[in-house]
Amino acid sequence: MNGQTNRVMIVDDNPSEIQTILGALKAHHTINVATSGEQAIKSLMASNEEQLPELLLLDINMPGIDGYETCLEIKKAPKLQHIEVVFFSANDSTEEITKGFDVGACDYVIKPFDSDILLSKIKTTLKNKEQRKSLTAAAKTANTIAMSAMRDSGDLGIILSFLRACFDVNNLDELAHCVIDALIGLNLTGSTLLYDNADSAIHSSDNSISELEITFLQRLRSSAPSIHEYNRKVIIGREGIALLINDLPDDRDNAARLKDHLMTLVEGIQNKLAHIKQANEGKTARLLKVRETVVGAHKKLTAVQEQQKNHKAGNMSILDEMVHEVEASFFAMGLTDAQEEQLLHIFTTAASKALDHFEQGIVIDQQLETIINELSSSIIKFSD
């Protein structure tokens, strides 16, 4: 071994040819030798990845299995398929050269060979091999990037669907459902607790949540904003949000990608929580205004009711006094019995009409009483 980076194996049963090739190559490559196809295959199969040659110089005409069979066996073995094979032979017929390419060789050297031509062919073969490796690696990288982009596109579609669904959400329970739907779309399982000063909602992707999970999420509620990882679990705590993810993928890149998406999800949740809070505050302000109006109407109607009672009582008192005065004046006026009966009939009829009117006022009073009672009930509900 001379420390050269490119490893070449010579497979030939002719010692003098081996020496000739060694003389041409040893200054440029690390050389191993096998004197038969069987020996070459056995040696290659016993070698580890670092010991395998990049190129085989393979004689076609050998005892036992010839070069063509040896090449076929090498190309069948997954471990050895990447080794480049260059045939050398005294037979330069088109049929022989074509047969060499058919079994997997990449070049063909005619004996007797020129050392410079042999070195040039080996250099070109190894260069082409490196270029193929680079292209393969680039294609693999491009495929990985494309697959990652496709996954990202799908995941971002789920996040966008979540954000769209949030437009129709009006409370914490509906929002928690949307969060769990998004986790399921990302192929994750977990649970979430959403809360504000007046309400809270807790949901799980398993449709049931253990007491331990509930306790854990409640603790996040009282802690500072944070994000923690334990094995495949991720715990995210933000104001109004406690999120527990049970099963991030083992693949580091996929896990990192999903964590980025989760943070985008959390930002969307925070924005919706702020919107719900604002809407609730506006609703509370409107309810307070309505309550203020109802209380004012109750006070005014109660005052009107009291005035109505006093007014009716005054009217009855005036009517009674008038009847008594008229009856008393009959004696002083010297009226005949017929005249007294006529006047009394007039006053009695008027009193009867006044009484009917008074009874109609009682019905109005009852209606007014019902309205006041309903307003009183509304005030109590607003206070609760």
pLDDT tens column, 214-239: 887 888 777 777 888 888 888 888 88
Beta strands in the chain (DSSP E): 7-11, 30-34, 55-59, 84-89, 107-110, 190-195, 200-204, 226-230, 233-238, 241-245
Measured between its terminal Cα atoms, the distance across the chain in Å is 92
pLDDT computed for residue 3 by the predictor:
44
285 contact partners, CB below 8 Å, separation of at least 6: none
Task: Answer for the pair 30, 50: CB distance below 8 angstroms, yes or no.
Answer: no
pLDDT, tens digit (0-9, with 9 covering 90-100), for 37-73: 999 999 999 999 888 999 999 999 998 999 999 999 9
Please identify which residue in the block is written with the tokens 């715990």. Answer: 235
Task: Report in angstroms the alpha-carbon separations of 60 from 90, 102, 270.
Answer: 9, 14, 74
Contacts for 231-234: CB closer than 8 Å, 24+ residues apart = 234/259, 234/262
Structure tokens at 347: 């006053």
Cα–Cα nearest to 219, from 189, 254, 195 = 195
pLDDT, tens digit (0-9, with 9 covering 90-100), for 115-144: 888 888 888 988 888 888 887 777 676 555
Q: What is the mean pLDDT of the chain?
A: 81
* CATH 3.40.50.2300, the chain: domain bounds: 7-140
Lowest mean pLDDT among 188-197, 287-296, 305-314: 287-296
* CATH fold of 165-281: Beta-Lactamase (3.30.450)
User: Percentage of the chain surpassing pLDDT 90?
Assistant: 19
- Architecture category of domain 7-140 in CATH: 3-Layer(aba) Sandwich (3.40)
* CATH fold of 282-383: Helix Hairpins (1.10.287)
* CATH 1.10.287, the chain: domain bounds: 282-383
pLDDT computed for residue 80 by the predictor:
92
More confident: 297 or 197? 197
Q: Is the pLDDT of residue 370 over 80?
A: no
* CATH 3.30.450, the chain: domain bounds: 165-281
Q: Is the pLDDT of residue 111 over 70?
A: yes
Beta-sheet strand order (sheet of 226-230)? 200-204, 190-195, 241-245, 233-238, 226-230
Task: Report in angstroms the alpha-carbon separations of 279 from 65, 194, 275, 276, 282.
Answer: 86, 16, 6, 5, 5
For residue 225, say if its preceding peptide bond is cis, omega within 30 degrees of 0.
Answer: no
Q: Is the pLDDT of residue 378 over 60?
A: yes
pLDDT (average), residues 239-259: 88
Structure tokens at 260: 């980025």
Q: Hey, what amino acid is at 356?
A: D
1 confidence band (pLDDT: 50, 70, 90): very low
pLDDT (average), residues 264-288: 79
pLDDT, tens digit (0-9, with 9 covering 90-100), for 138-167: 767 655 554 555 455 667 788 888 888 888
